[in-house]
Amino acid sequence: MPHRQTAPDRPRLPAGWRRLLARLPILLFRCGLGWVFGKRLLLLHHTGRVTGLDRRVVLEVVECGPDGGSWTVASGFGPKAAWYRNLRADPKTLIEVGTRRHAVTAHFLTPDEGAEIMARYARRHPRTARRLCALMGLPSDGTAAGFREAGRAIPFVRLDAPGTRPP
């Protein structure tokens, strides 16, 4: 059976053994092994906007705030990703980074903010940034301007703990 895409310009959702592999980090977090990922990945708890059930997804941390109370993540599957839509419906949630839990509020960033975040990310992780752009079907010539353009098409979300000052 062919695999359905959420949007023609976004990567396909993993299925079969790839889905199991993609969800393995959730199991590691649930077993108290989130420290294995350091500050690079976080476990996002979100509430299903239709079902009201607790859902979880592991996301890469694109940036951490200087005060340690904010984390920026990206929706590689675009604005139709379930976790992104669920946060739009209920932005107050809980994350786990390492072995610590944090109550946070989601703030949806503008395309211009996303452009600058992607350019900074590409400076820190150039190979990963090129691979991500290719996976998401976003054109990028490997320059800062190319990554900025790609960043305008990626929905970024900043997760702020209470009392965190926005950048």
Closest CA to 85 of 47, 42, 40: 47
CA atoms within 13 A on the CB side of 13: 12
Q: pLDDT tens digits for 80-95?
A: 899 999 999 999 999 9
Profile the chain (167 residues) by mean pLDDT over runs of 10 residues. Answer: 44 68 83 90 95 93 90 91 95 94 96 96 92 82 91 94 74
Q: What is the 3-state secondary structure (H, E, C) of 73-87?
A: EECCCCCCCHHHHHH
Radius of gyration over alpha carbons of the chain, in Å? 16
Determine the pLDDT at residue 136.
Answer: 79
Determine the pLDDT at residue 16.
Answer: 74
The letter for the amino acid at 10 is R
Enter the CATH code of domain 16-160: 2.30.110.10
Determine the pLDDT at residue 10.
Answer: 58
Determine the pLDDT at residue 167.
Answer: 61
Determine the pLDDT at residue 24.
Answer: 81
Q: Token pair 């396909």 is at which residue? A: 12
Determine the pLDDT at residue 2.
Answer: 44
